[in-house]
Amino acid sequence: MRRTKILATLGPASFDARKLAQLLDAGANAFRINFSHGSDAEHREVLARVHRLVDKREDAVAIVADLQGPKIRVGEVTPSPRRLLEGRRLVLDARAGLGTEDRVPVSIPGFSTAAQPGDPVLIGDGSIELLVEETADTEIVTRVVHGGLLTSHAGLYLPRAKLRTGVLGAKDRADMAIAIAGGVDFIALSFVREARDIREARALLHRLPQGAKVGIIAKIERAEALQRAESILAASDGIMVARGDLGIEVPLERLALEQKRLVAQANAAGRFAIVATQMLLSMVSAPRPTRAEATDVANAVLDGADAVMLSEESAIGQFPVEAVSWLDRICGATESAMLRGEVRSAPATGAGPSLERAVAEAAVHLARELRAAAIVTPTHSGRTASLVAALRPAAPIVALSSRGETRRRLALVWGATSRPVPSHLPLPELRRAARASAVSALAVGPRDRLVLTAGYPVEGRPTNLVTVLDGEEIEPRAPTPKRRRGAATPRSA
């Protein structure tokens, strides 16, 4: 069983039902829909198509809606793409309209004071660099320092500007409503700066029907977010290390170090971490990755990433299914080497003492000492399974929950597979359900040893119990005596 999850971005190369099924069969655990591209009607149709497929699957599949956020982009460019030549003059124009040979429309907050002569301007992934020569109320005159292909709606960056914009614009709020109505499991929030951005988005989610069931992924792509990562993690359900924009915001030579630090912080906080951007970029046009890309993916696994993400590779690439297959192969091989002790992964550390974390540590320790076939974690919100997963046990994790949204959200948590169980099971029934679910999810033997966590004895108590299940202990099911009305039953957090 591969522990590291695969998040595949959908696009024209993967929208049809047949291709979606192939991506799942190749190993995708979750789908991302990028709301920076496509129309409202297209987003609704894709969401409906995905649900028609994934709702029939036994293994839960998560759907992530990635909001555009307050990213500055150039407008329409004609022709698109077109090459900018070094030394040429290019005007950034605040007025709407189509771009010409030497003029590009762009909307920048506080346009008249956003740039000063001598400031750099970066476009796309940073490969196009401009230098500001003059500014006016509606124009920023630049000279091309490093040229390249300019496309419509490419990102534009002003590294020296201090632009203050809200994390959710009008488009993001409208897209969020479409995504929630379409049944997504996560909102990926772009350009997060601080925990307050997460709280603002969550408050808006809670005002939408079913929005309270949706998790928030904080995309770390601004330098200022790096210094506030701990509070951002505490406010969110997980983070995405979005290396495209982050690689422009921080010195490129520090990008790998920041990735490692962010993933370690997420592990310590019991939150999942997704590593994204250019994982297998060459596979947009090639059937196999480069050696450097394979190494990059393996290092993300060694860092402790919960999931790795495909962007262009699965959205517009020629080989989307092959890209997922290669991620599956590389992640699986790296994990196998880690389990055999051939290579060392990042050490798992806790963020501080708590009852639930102590129980998670006890479960992992027991599973290791007893060589248990699996750790089974009943969970209401997914927190217990996430805490166990953050410790990176050798034994696979089976999460049990009566809530479909919890099972789907665990599709991005390292090492966790999930199965449905009824709510409010007495402990003897829970033990039977744990055994049956482990057999179903992992094909473990009916007498293999399992470690089980639970909340006991009061309903609603945090996870406070660890027990061991030996096959011979599970006797044939006996009639369950009727409980008194209101009697307490075990439940896990």
In the chain, where the domains are located? 5-69+167-340, 82-157, 355-473
- pLDDT value at position 160? 79
- pLDDT value at position 287? 97
- pLDDT value at position 349? 62
Domain 355-473 belongs in CATH node 3.40.50.2000 = no
State the residue for tokens 């929950």: 401
Lowest mean pLDDT among 345-354, 413-422, 478-487: 478-487
d(CA 439, CA 493): 23
Mean pLDDT computed over 477-486: 45
d(CA 135, CA 138): 8
Q: How far is CA 239 from CA 183, 205, 216, 266, in A?
A: 20, 18, 8, 7
Domain covering 82-157, topology = M1 Pyruvate Kinase; Domain 3 (2.40.33)
- pLDDT value at position 276? 97
- pLDDT value at position 154? 87
Whole-prediction pTM:
0.88
When the pLDDT of each residue in the chain is averaged and rounded to a whole number, the result is 90
d(CA 256, CA 18): 36
Q: How far is CA 108 from CA 96, 149, 227, 292, 460, in A?
A: 12, 21, 25, 36, 49
Mean pLDDT computed over 191-196: 94
| Secondary structure percentages of the chain, helix, strand, coil, to 5 | 40, 20, 40
Q: How far is CA 194 from CA 61, 120, 190, 458, in A?
A: 29, 25, 12, 37
List 277, 384, 417, 463, catalytic entry: 277
124: left (phi over 0), alpha (psi -120 to 50) or beta: left
Percent of the chain whose pLDDT exceeds 70 = 92
Q: How far is CA 303 from CA 23, 198, 227, 268, 338, in A?
A: 25, 25, 20, 13, 11
Name the 3-class secondary structure at 480. Answer: coil
Mean pLDDT computed over 128-145: 93
> Any catalytic annotation for residue 243?
no
DSSP-derived secondary structure for 277-299: SSSSGGGGTSSS--HHHHHHHHH
Domain covering 5-69+167-340, topology = TIM Barrel (3.20.20)
- pLDDT value at position 350? 57
d(CA 91, CA 100): 10
Lowest mean pLDDT among 266-270, 306-310, 485-489: 485-489
pLDDT at 382 over 90: yes
List 5, 32, 392, 449, catalytic entry: 32
> Any catalytic annotation for residue 73?
yes
Percent of the chain whose pLDDT exceeds 90 = 69
CB 288 within 8 A of CB 326: yes
List 2, 3, 219, 260, catalytic entry: 219
CB 395 within 8 A of CB 442: no
What is the pLDDT confidence band of residue 482, given thresholds at 50, 70 and 90?
very low
List 73, 173, 288, 329, catalytic entry: 73
pLDDT at 111 over 90: no
> Any catalytic annotation for residue 219?
yes
pLDDT at 404 over 80: yes
d(CA 186, CA 202): 11
